[in-house]
Structure 1
Amino acid sequence: MSASIDASDEVLSGEAVAIDVQPVGFLLRAVGAIIDMLLGFLLFILWIFVRIWLFDIGILDEATDRIAMVVALVVSFVVVPIAMEVALKGRSLGKLAVGGRIVRVDGGAAGFRHAFIRALLGALEIYMTLGGIAVLAGAFNARSQRLGDMVAGTYSQRVRTPKLVPHAPVLPPSLAGWAQVADVARLPDRLARRISQFLQTAPRLAPGARVRVAQELLSEAAPFVSPMPPVSAEEVLVGITVLRRERERRALQNADRRAEKLTGRRIGV
């Protein structure tokens, strides 16, 4: 089943599971890159003022000035970006501003090697071409990866996505009588998780997809439910979830009481 995208731009899988690993869009990446570029240029300009002062007090001469200039360029545009990305675990000033984080293409955390490759190529595609190569590369791939990302195997992941608010389902009034006689067996763990995830994300689904996914989940859960009430598939899923939750809660309470009695007997002995 194909994925659906709702109004809040969250990607939902065919099992109605929210995928919270969206890449940062091209425009936001550009804004973040501009912020990081400005930081690098500000550091280099700061060095220019320091250089003038060092000339005035006689510490720098023509020979050492050339070496210091190269060192300042490397520090401002390579070392500082690497240090920030490693220290902030894939973040930088620009990425903090736009809500992004550099991760591996498999979703794992990026490390020093990734930051080193990105910074080296960033000096070429961002600073030496004023972002020209990065713009061309990022505009033509789905994850807005620049050249450094493609070589390092990384991309910028959104970390400011709306979080799903978990809620406890309530038994519909139409199922009050059914709940007194219903026999709901233990569901397979994977099916129970899918039903729970669907109920949390159902309000975000398009009506047609909502009905279709509910019906598919109910068809899988039907062998574990008797009798089947004459209500909508989503209401039945809510009823199943509420009954299983209440029965598991009572089972845990009974287990706690048995443990307390056993402990009390041992103390009495």
Structure 2
Amino acid sequence: MHEESELVTGEAVVLDLRVAKLASRALAMALDVLVQFALLLTAAMVFTFAVPVGDESLFLALLLVLVVLVMVGYPVVFETLSRGRSLGKMAVGLRVVRVDGGPIRFRHALVRGLAGFVVDFWALGLFGAVAVIVSLCSSNGRRVGDFLAGTLVVRERAPAGALHAAIVMPPGLEGWAAQLDLTRLPDALALASRQFLARFRELSPEASHALGWGLAQQVGNALGTPVPPGVPPWAFLAAVLAERRNRDHARAFQAYAAQAQAQAQVQPMAAPWPGAQPQPGPVAGPPPDPPTPPSGTPVANPFTPPS
């Protein structure tokens, strides 16, 4: 279960994020609990052989410390190192973020981990009953640890349509884009730009311009080129991504042509038995033409390209 949630960034920009609700969070929690109990069981077996026989007080003390370290340390370490994801959240496609949409830090993960152990789930949480009740009463599905840490769990995976939206070259930017060094563009930044272009018309004009301009600045810094004067942020990002896609297609076509050329140049077959005449191989011919990439569609909201 999820719903759209409006979050405000530090730049006062409204973000539309898909909030993870009870069902997806419960699945991620169940996977994390399985991992935690597997760690506890393994460590308990090790302690059984390592602790001297008859010293039950030492064994219980070590077991108590181990339970606290695993139940609190596991989510804190994973969410800190992976910027908001545990193993269960990775499997389900969830991430913990701040209420302003930014990535969490160690203090956020520590507060969530301690509150989860003491209040939400184990010590006072009646095996998760408190977390379930608070999450159902919250519009964003937040538990006590989220309220104390100022965090929110969102769905990280974008819809399939957003990842495969068609990107076309804005008219007038073909020559400018052909001179760019696109090897310096990080994949993560390209993916963020593609997701923005897939839905920027759904955002408010203020949010669309602010988010687009921020992404355009990051892409321009990565490529070492500023946004051309008079070019909207969406057109700048579309030109960069369309040129990147066209170059990928060109390399794929060249590889296809080389493979077809190699297949066409077949050597004559060897004689199947001694004394038999070799069978002539197929006559080499020109390689077949590579498939033509699909033509793009006209871009809405045309603008006057820079001179």
TM-score range, shorter chain: 0.5 to 0.7
Residue 156 of structure 2 aligns with which residue?
159
**Superposed CA offset, 1:52-85 (max 9, x none):** 2124xx3882232122112111111011221111
**Superposed CA offset, 1:74-130 (max 9, x none):** 111011221111111110011101111111111111111111111111113223422
> Aligned partners of 2:197, 2:73: CA distance in 1, in Å?
48
Amino acid at match of 2:29: A
Task: Mark the CA change 1:168 to 1:60 in structure 2 (over 3 Å): closer, same or farther.
Answer: farther
1:24 aligned onto 2:20:
yes
Residue 135 of structure 1 aligns with which residue?
132
In the TM superposition, what is the alpha-carbon distance from 1:19 to its structure 2 partner?
4.9
In the TM superposition, what is the alpha-carbon distance from 1:29 to its structure 2 partner?
0.7
Runs of 4+ in 1 over 4 A off after TM superposition: 9-12, 17-20, 197-205
> Aligned partners of 1:146, 1:70: CA distance in 2, in Å?
25
1:126 aligned onto 2:121:
yes
- Could you tell me which runs of 5 or more consecutive residues in structure 1 were left unpaired when the two chains were aligned: 1-8, 172-196, 206-237, 252-269
Amino acid at match of 1:38: L
Amino acid at match of 1:168: V
* Secondary structure in structure 2 of the residue aligned to 1:122: helix
In the TM superposition, what is the alpha-carbon distance from 1:51 to its structure 2 partner?
2.0
* Secondary structure in structure 2 of the residue aligned to 1:109: coil
Kindly report which structure 2 residues correspond to 1:167-246, keeping only aligned pairs within 5 A, or say none.
167-168=167-168, 201=199, 241-242=301-302, 244=304
Task: Mark the CA change 1:35 to 1:198 in structure 2 (over 3 Å): closer, same or farther.
Answer: closer
Residue 51 of structure 1 aligns with which residue?
47
**Superposed CA offset, 1:10-65 (max 9, x none):** 789xxxx995522112210111111112222221111221122124xx38822321
Residue 215 of structure 1 aligns with which residue?
none
In the TM superposition, what is the alpha-carbon distance from 1:166 to its structure 2 partner?
5.1
1:113 to 82, 107, 111: 107
Amino acid at match of 1:145: R
Residue 268 of structure 2 aligns with which residue?
none
1:62 to 56, 61, 70: 56
> Aligned partners of 1:48, 1:239: CA distance in 2, in Å?
63
Between stretches 133-142 and 62-71, larger displacement belongs to 62-71
Residue 210 of structure 1 aligns with which residue?
none
**Superposed CA offset, 1:141-165 (max 9, x none):** 1211111001111011211022363
Number of aligned residue pairs: give it: 177
1:33 to 29, 36, 59: 29
User: How well do the aligned residues superpose, as a CA RMSD in angstroms?
Assistant: 3.5
Between stretches 23-32 and 159-168, larger displacement belongs to 159-168
Task: Mark the CA change 1:240 to 1:92 in structure 2 (over 3 Å): closer, same or farther.
Answer: closer
- Could you tell me which runs of 5 or more consecutive residues in structure 2 were left unpaired when the two chains were aligned: 7-12, 172-194, 204-297
Task: Mark the CA change 1:199 to 1:81 in structure 2 (over 3 Å): closer, same or farther.
Answer: closer
Residue 228 of structure 2 aligns with which residue?
none
Q: TM-score, normalised to structure 1's length?
A: 0.56
Q: Is the 8 A contact 1:23 1:156 kept in 2?
A: yes
* Secondary structure in structure 2 of the residue aligned to 1:108: coil
Q: TM-score, normalised to structure 2's length?
A: 0.50
Q: Is the 8 A contact 1:104 1:110 kept in 2?
A: yes
